[in-house]
Structure 1
Amino acid sequence: MQAAVFFDRDGVLNEDDGYAFEPSKIRWIKGAMEAVRAVNQSGYLAFVVTNQSGVARGFYAEQQARGLHAWMTDQLASVGARIDEFAYCPHHPEGTIAEYRHACICRKPQPGMINELVKRHSIDIGRSILVGDKQSDIEAAAGAGITGHIFRGADLEAFIVPLLLQLKQLR
């Protein structure tokens, strides 16, 4: 079983400007790409788990969310980093698009996205962490049995490197 680092997207990897879906408007958090590369180089899988209620609200389509993730994948590859899988929840109980208007087990604070990735990739939850910027991220991690860490700093690489060292001690 492999260990993994789960990242929230908006507010952790990129600035949270509200309903981000256009690559031209994405601003990476300082050290974000390097943090993902550090995770990769440490031998951990890297995942993104992100609520994307903008789909349910009609602000953008799932295709645009996937397009942004493809762009992020290319950007990360340019520095030798990779996300092993992006998971997102397009649902919201107050959405304006009927097919996405419902409560679900994948929308954080529910642990559904994390649980699916854990199952699909045979993740060792005892040696894995989640990095988020909201309490709902931490609740989702706890619901999946993973330790969550709140990122409120200015440099994600400086935040993640000590966590990776702690994880190595659990091996």
Structure 2
Amino acid sequence: MNNAIFMDRDGTINVYKDYVYNINNFFFIENVIDAMIILKKMNFFLIIVTNQSGIARGLFTKNDFLLLTKWMVFYLKLRHVHIDAIYFCPHYQKGIIKKFKQTCLCRKPNPGMLLDAKQHFNINMTNSYMVGDTESDMLAGQSAGIGTNVLVCSGKEITKKSKTIATWTIKSLASLPNMIKTHKNINPGL
């Protein structure tokens, strides 16, 4: 079985702004690329799981999202970071684009995207991590059986509830490799 780092996108990988859908508004959070390089060297699969309700809301198209995603993957590849998979949910129950106006199992806090990745990549969820900046990220990780749910303070404002659901709270994804190494030193059986 494989271990994975499941990562939210907005507020976790890139600077949080409402509905980022083009390259001009996409800025990587400081040191997250370096952290991803280290996490890959630690033999983790890197899997992005992101809600993109802006598609259902009609704020941007699925194609806009895919173009930005293609650019992001290429940019990371140039810096020696391989993203193993990207799962996204375009749905929103109150959306205006009929095709995407629905309740689904993939929109976090539902665990659908994580469970799909688990099956596709044979992921050991107990030894994996969900990293995100919202309560819905933490709940999705918890529902999917993720062993460590990591709340980052680099995105949306942290709520008391999201802090209580999280296993760890860290400044940003950049801190994760050291947290994992420290934790393994404390609990070498992991």
Same fold (TM over 0.5): yes
Query: How far apart in 2 are the matches of 1:3 and 1:36?
Result: 14
Q: Between the two structures, name the one with larger relative contact order (CA 8 Å, sep ≥ 6).
A: 1
In structure 1, what is the equivalent of residue 45 of structure 2? Answer: 45
Kept after mapping to 1: 8 A contact 2:46/2:85: yes
The gaps in structure 2 that reach 5 residues or longer are 155-170
Query: How far apart in 1 are the matches of 2:34 and 2:180?
Result: 13
Moved more, 23-32 or 102-111: 23-32
Identity %: 31
Pairwise CA RMSD:
1.4
Shift in alpha-carbon separation, 1:96–1:167, aligned structure 2, 3 A: farther
In structure 1, what is the equivalent of residue 92 of structure 2? Answer: 92
In structure 2, what is the equivalent of residue 80 of structure 1? Answer: 80
In structure 1, what is the equivalent of residue 12 of structure 2? Answer: 12
1:156-171 → structure 2 map (5 Å cutoff) = 156-157=173-174, 159-165=175-181, 166=183, 169-171=188-190
Kept after mapping to 1: 8 A contact 2:152/2:172: no
In structure 2, what is the equivalent of residue 149 of structure 1? Answer: 150
Alpha-carbon shift at residue 155 of structure 1 (Å) = 4.6
Moved more, 41-50 or 75-84: 75-84
Shift in alpha-carbon separation, 1:162–1:20, aligned structure 2, 3 A: same
Alpha-carbon shift at residue 25 of structure 1 (Å) = 1.4
TM-score w.r.t. the length of structure 1 is 0.94
Letter paired with 2:176: I
Residues 8-55 of structure 1 show CA distances to partners (whole Å, capped at 9, x for unaligned) of 000000011111110121111111111111111111100000000000
1:118-129 → structure 2 map (5 Å cutoff) = 118-129=118-129
Residues 61-81 of structure 1 show CA distances to partners (whole Å, capped at 9, x for unaligned) of 111111111111111112111
Shift in alpha-carbon separation, 1:144–1:71, aligned structure 2, 3 A: same
Shift in alpha-carbon separation, 1:117–1:80, aligned structure 2, 3 A: same
Letter paired with 1:148: N
Moved more, 139-148 or 67-76: 67-76
Q: Give structure 1 regions of 4+ aligned residues with deviation exceeding 2 angstroms.
A: 153-156, 166-171
Is structure 2 residue 137 aligned with structure 1 residue 134? no
In structure 2, what is the equivalent of residue 104 of structure 1? Answer: 104
SS of the residue 1:49 aligns to:
strand
In structure 2, what is the equivalent of residue 117 of structure 1? Answer: 117
Query: How far apart in 1 are the matches of 2:93 and 2:14?
Result: 25
SS of the residue 2:28 aligns to:
coil
Letter paired with 1:162: N
Kept after mapping to 1: 8 A contact 2:51/2:89: yes
Query: How far apart in 1 are the matches of 2:11 and 2:74?
Result: 20
Query: How far apart in 2 are the matches of 1:32 and 1:56?
Result: 29
